[in-house]
Every structure is written in structure tokens, then in C-alpha cells.
Amino acid sequence: MGKFNEALKDFRQVCKIVPKDPDATKKLKECERAVQKIRFEEAIASEHVKSCTVVDFRTIDVEEAYSGARIEGDKITLEFVKTMMEDFKNQKKLHKRYAFQILHEVKELLAPLPTLVNVNVPNDTHITICGDIHGQYFDLMNIFDLNGLPSDENPYLFNGDFVDRGSFSAEVIFTLFAFKCLYNSGMHLSRGNHESKSMNKMYGFHGEVKSKYNESMAEIFSELFCCLPLAHVLNKRIFVVHGGLFSRDGVKLSDIRSIDRFREPPDEGLMCELLWSDPHPGLGRIPSKRGAGVAFGSDVTQKFLEENNLELVVRSHEVKEEGYEEEHGGKLITVFSAPNYCDQMNNKGAFIKFVAPKLKPQFTKFVSVPHPNVRPMAYANNIFSWLS
């Protein structure tokens, strides 16, 4: 959560109770360093007026020696995207000229979208929903092998947490963004709790982008993530969101549409809960184990659906042993698409296909595939690594 000032108080109290505990002492020192680092960054930031980072990709030269994917002219093509994906498999970087071009074009597509996007799935067509990917690029490629590449005829909705933890997050996000540019109606993207500056600095994406590209690009990603929609509704029947539902009854779809999403996620309120909340097996609401959002029961789900004339909630955000789980009497589905999460959980991944008009969920489970020997969190800030 990045609430280091609160954590600092707790660690100091723990060290008073067990002053000789080496682990508690270590965590206290690390937390003190984190607080100092954040205060320093805030002090620097306060001296400057925050403005949109602008990089004109057209002014960036492509060296003759560059042998990777190229965008001929100004149009992103399927041939370019396929070549780029193959380059990524071979651990080649996309030239920064084309990387910045993708970011420029995808922002033009994302920024005008509403906070709650209505997606129409015509009869006898389908859409596939994927959960968290978390930088596991080679598992993303496996999804496309199993289910086909995104296109207007084979649309996908990726439900947040594209990046962090896995150390191929740049490859994941450039692939998803390139397909969004190529097939605007064939690639839908929701914001997750990890599409935020604070999480990216803790869990690796910010450091990865700085390592593979530069600081300017990392800042552009932070701005871009604020353009991502917070939720989708399929055919006015299925509500799709990364986290979950709310700490109060009576929230309508119109309330979600009115959220100003162009910001970093707050610590409370509707936006926070959309990104952070989880279901629990009982009734009512209880405090979230995450320290953000709320844990909500089956009665909360049922009431939200009834009040908004919906049939189903699809969300992600949680590792599931089989890649998905149906909960709350079948009214809520969690889907998670990062198998063997962080190379240690041994879970399966899954995705869900919905075919109109019935829109009954069809589940596909899959296991992890091999990837290059780069450990998860390889680019994470060492100060924060104990949080993983």
C-alpha cells in the first residue's frame, strides 16, 4: 500500500516490544529509508509545476544498425506488431522511437473514453476477458496461442494489473497498447491497482522502464495509466472491474461514470474500492486484509446487481488456484491470468469467453510456460523488495 508513515509507527512499536528481534530491526531501518526517500521526492516535486511529459517521437532517429521491428510511415500494422512480439521473445528491445509512438497513439485513444465503458457484443460474436498478467509476457503469448491474436473479430478485455512483479512488464504493456492502436474495438483495457505510480515504484515497473528505456518514458506511463477506464459493462448485463464493489449500498453506474479518473488512486472512496476491494464468502462488509477497499459479501453483490439491472460481476485482483473461481452463488467470477504467479504460487491461469446473446461464461485454464532466467521483481527498488 505504500503507507510508510503508518508502517513506521508500527515498526517502532514492535521494536520496543522485541528490541532484539533482528527482522523487526531490519524492517524498521528499511521503512525509515523509504520514508526519507519519499519525503525527498515530494520536496523536489513541490518545486516544479506538474505538466504533461511530451516527447516528439518524430524527432528521434532510428540507427541503421537497429535490426528490430519498424513502423513504416506512421501507421502501426499487424506485421509490425507480430515482429515486435517475436523480438520481445528474443529479449530484444523495441526502439524508443516506436515505443514513444505507441504511447502517443494509445493516449489519443484512451483519454476520450468514459470512465465506465459500455461494450456491445453482437449476437453470434464473442469477447474474451483476461485477468492479471503482471509482467508475465511469455504467458501472455501463450494466451494468444490458445485463443488467437486480438482483432476486431476476436476482441479481448484485459482487466488490469498488466505490469509489476513480473520482469517483462514493458513487453506486456507495449504489446497490449500496440493491439489497442491496431484494433481499437478489439482491445479493451481496464485500470488495476498496479497501474499507479506508487505501486510501479515499489513493484518493479518504474525501474524496468528506466532500465530498458528512460525516466521520461516512465513518467509518460504514469500519466497514461490515469487515462485507463475503471470498469466496463458488457451488453448492459455484465459488470467488469479489476477489484470489486463498495463500502456502501446505492452506488449506481452513473456514480461510476462521474468519477474523475485522471489522477493517482486515492486511499478511499469509489475509485479506490473499484481497484482494491475483494469478495468474502459471508454476508455484509468487513475490513479488507489489504488495508484498502473493502471485503464484501454475497448480499452486497446481489444488491448491486439488482439496483443496476445487471446479471454478473467479473473481477480479477486475486490469485486463484485454478485460475478462476465462481463465488456469491454464481453472481461473481474472479479471473486471474498469471499462472505460477511470481514463479512460486503453482496456480493455473485462466480466461473467460462470453458468446452473445446468452453470454454464459466459458472457462479456459492453462499452466505457465518457460521464460528466460530473469527473476520476478528484478527491477524493484531494493528499499521496497521486502514488501513482495
Q: Which strand ranges, in their side-by-side order, compose the sheet holding 285-287?
A: 278-279, 294-296, 285-287
Residue from 134, 188, 194, 232 carrying the catalytic annotation: 194
Enclosing H/E stretch for 294: strand 294-296
Reading the block at residue 223, the C-alpha cell is: 500519466
Reading the block at residue 91, the C-alpha cell is: 529479449
Reading the block at residue 148, the C-alpha cell is: 488467437
Cis peptide before 361 (omega within 30 of 0): no
DSSP string of 348-377?
PEEEEEEETTTTEEEEEEE------S--TT
Percent helix, strand and coil across the chain, each to the nearest 5: 40, 15, 45
Cis peptide before 357 (omega within 30 of 0): yes
How far is residue 332's CA from residue 316's CA, in Å, rounded to a whole number?
Answer: 10
Reading the block at residue 189, the C-alpha cell is: 483495457
Any idea of the CA torsion for 122, 126, 130, 135, to the nearest 10 degrees?
-100
- How big is the chain by its Cα radius of gyration, in Å? 21
- Looking only at the bridges linking them, the beta strands covering 360-366 and 156-158 are unpaired
Which residues are within 8 A (CB) of 88 and not within 5 positions of it... i.e. 6 or more apart?
94, 137, 168, 171, 174, 175
Q: Look up 194 and say whether it is catalytic.
A: yes
Q: 163 vs 193, 203, 315, 338, CA distance in Å?
A: 10, 9, 17, 11
Interior CA angle at 380 toward 165 and 15, to 5°? 105
DSSP assignment letter at 148: -
Query: Residue 332: beta bridge partners?
Result: 313, 327
How far is residue 386's CA from residue 200's CA, in Å, rounded to a whole number?
Answer: 15
> Please, what's the b/e burial string for 373-383 (b: 16 or more CB within 10 A of its CB; e: otherwise)?
eeebbebbbeb
Which residues form the catalytic set? Answer: 194
